[in-house]
Structure 1
Amino acid sequence: MSKQTKETKKYDPDVKVKDFCGKKKIFFLISLALILISLLSTFTGVDIALEFKGGTIITYSYVGEMDASTIEKEVGSLVGSSVRVQQGDSLDGDTHTLSLSFSSNDGLTADRQAEVTDKISSLYPDGEVEVLDSNDVDARSGSEFFAKCIVAAVFAALILIVYIAFRFKQISGWSAGVCAVLGLLSTLIVTYGSVVLLGFEIDSNFMAVILTLLGYAVNDTIVIYDRIRENQSLLVGVPIEELVNISNSQSLRRSLRTSITTFGSMLVVTIVALAMGLDSILSFSVPMMFGIAMGTFNSICFVPGLWVWWQKKRGVDVLKPTKKAAKAKA
């Protein structure tokens, strides 16, 4: 054990210092691999929700049993385009609901919708099929919503950089802010990849996940930066790699507990949604689980190592003591 590590025991004797910075190349490779897989997943096909593409949604009520795959095939052949089918239960419990989504710029005409209804009725003559609702979705409104979400995400990232830069100016705040946002960007890309690979739609739930992670995923990074700044005054002259290892190790238990608790909550929600067949909830809870896991990895492993690498490139081997620490030493 080095002299500096021995010295830190008087501040927190129960913490075992782990060599996070010594493994930063491995962490970088893991992050890079996950980012590449997520980006390449785009070529497998991205399922864009109707609210962003435009089209028509028709909702029916029916009794008995219907096969969703049969309806998709038969109705798809009728209209000459793909159709997405979702089934559910009515509030009264005696009937079921059937929602058909058609992607198109102009929607389905009234005659075309009547043909679809007749087709379903012919497939299931005893189903008592009735139209509950029919809506045309304008792609422009979805595009505007998507654009506003992107603007909000970019604005939030800029605010984070500025906030971290001023709050942690003692530890080269601008570099700390940029590293935190790069880690956040990595989290969002991997979350996107999980959505695509698992076959979920890019919809309003996906945008809700992204906006939630913007605030949540950087939280552990802020805690670690705060501990680095605190130890900068307590451990004057300690090499920057060891200072980060100590600070990260002191924050590790707290970070893991927070992430495990949140991840566990999303896991419970996912299990309940699977049992109840609530696909709309799954499209939020499952990507959130991936985002929480990746965000925790980035905060603990990727961002601190990246920040240390940045400081070493600038020729910083030891952080300068704060004015408070310098006066105390004098």
Structure 2
Amino acid sequence: MNNKVYDISGKKKIWFIISLALIAAIAVITVIKGVEIAIEFKGGTIISYSYEGDASIKDAQSEIEDLLKTPVVIQEGENLSNDSNSFSISFSYDTGLSVEDQTALTELLQEKFPDNKVELLDSNDVNPTSGKEFFLKCAIASILAAALIIIYIALRFKKISGWSAGVCAVIGLLHNLIFVFGTFVIMGYEINANFMAVILTILGYSVNDTIVIYDRIRENKNNMPKASVAELVNVSTSQSLRRSIRTSVTTISTMLIVSIVASIYHVSSILSFSIPMIVGMIAGTYASLCIASPLWVWWNERKSKSNKKKKK
């Protein structure tokens, strides 16, 4: 057990200012850069091609965009059926891709890469309905999870003002999700199924850390009946510090190794999960230690001052 007590709640204004400044920066960057939304959420067309040998397909991106008159996303991979290489071009197209445009695109690629035997594999129009339904279900699941977290903490931690503790825990979770969203925007990743997977994973990790600290607060309230709310939070957070950091470092190290391997092999679909996970884990640990609990202290101090004024 860590015997040293850190004055975490006493520096709550600093923690809040840091978080608010970073959230404001994310908001500004989002307005400037915009948000990349995956084709399954907004609809469009995906065309797949096979090719032989080595070719930097993304070198043709500007020419493809000039031809189609719309931004495109190019993803490279392998065609496992015949051991050749493959790539897909996805883009939003309100009216769908005409046969003439598809033929022109294929001819452009064959002219651009004459030695690579570029051949059309498949062309599909993507309906956004299923993607929107998936997004809606994930959003509903997140809202229900937040409501259940508040109820669970309120019932389990009645002795330490459970309702306020639950609300502060959910605010901490929202804080983490903003940072995950910011990572997707800053890195230029699309808001897709990976985004929802990271969100739901971070929800589980972060609330676990916060509940451990609340559990410590409840135990220490029995052991330190005369201690103030701030003292209880400082002691409890200090006792949970090593555990929280060790848990986060283990997961972050794993995601870091995954990110390095994915970078070497240029697997962007894995990077768009592992890098936001790293940021989410760091933000989650920070929020559990420096946001949720200090916010709960601020809440209770305000409530105490309000009650004193009413009695006068």
SS of aligned partner of 1:238: coil
The residue that corresponds to 2:154 in the other structure is 165
Summarize deviations over 1:152-198 as a string: whole Å, max 9, x none.
Answer: 11111111111111111110000000000001001100110111011
Summarize deviations over 1:96-139 as a string: whole Å, max 9, x none.
Answer: 11111121233213332222112211222222112222221112
Where in structure 2 are there 5+ consecutive unaligned residues?
Answer: 307-312
The residue that corresponds to 1:54 in the other structure is 43
The residue that corresponds to 2:188 in the other structure is 199
Which of 258, 269, 277 aligns to 1:269? It is 258
The residue that corresponds to 1:91 in the other structure is 80
Where in structure 1 are there 5+ consecutive unaligned residues?
Answer: 1-11, 318-330
SS of aligned partner of 1:315: helix
1:250 is matched by which residue type in structure 2?
Q
Which of 289, 292, 301 aligns to 2:290? It is 301
Task: Decide which moves more: 101-110 or 39-48.
Answer: 101-110
SS of aligned partner of 1:217: helix
Summarize deviations over 1:44-64 as a string: whole Å, max 9, x none.
Answer: 211111111111111111012
SS of aligned partner of 1:202: coil
1:108 aligns with 2:97: yes
Which of 27, 30, 41 aligns to 1:39? It is 27
**What is the aligned residue count?**
305
Post-superposition offset of 1:92: 6.6
| TM-score of the aligned structures, taking structure 2 as reference length | 0.93
SS of aligned partner of 1:265: helix
CA distance in 2 between partners of 1:265 and 1:64 (Å): 33
Post-superposition offset of 1:41: 2.1
Summarize deviations over 1:177-229 as a string: whole Å, max 9, x none.
Answer: 00000010011001101110111111110111111111111111000000000
SS of aligned partner of 1:218: helix
2:272 is matched by which residue type in structure 1?
S
1:258 aligns with 2:241: no
Which of 59, 71, 81 aligns to 1:82? It is 71
Alignment of 1:20-31 (within 5 A): 20-31=8-19
Give % identity.
Answer: 53
Post-superposition offset of 1:40: 2.1
Which of 213, 217, 221 aligns to 1:224? It is 213
Contact 1:63-1:94 within 8 A present in 2 as well: no
1:153 aligns with 2:142: yes
What value does the CA root-mean-square deviation take over the aligned residues?
A: 1.7
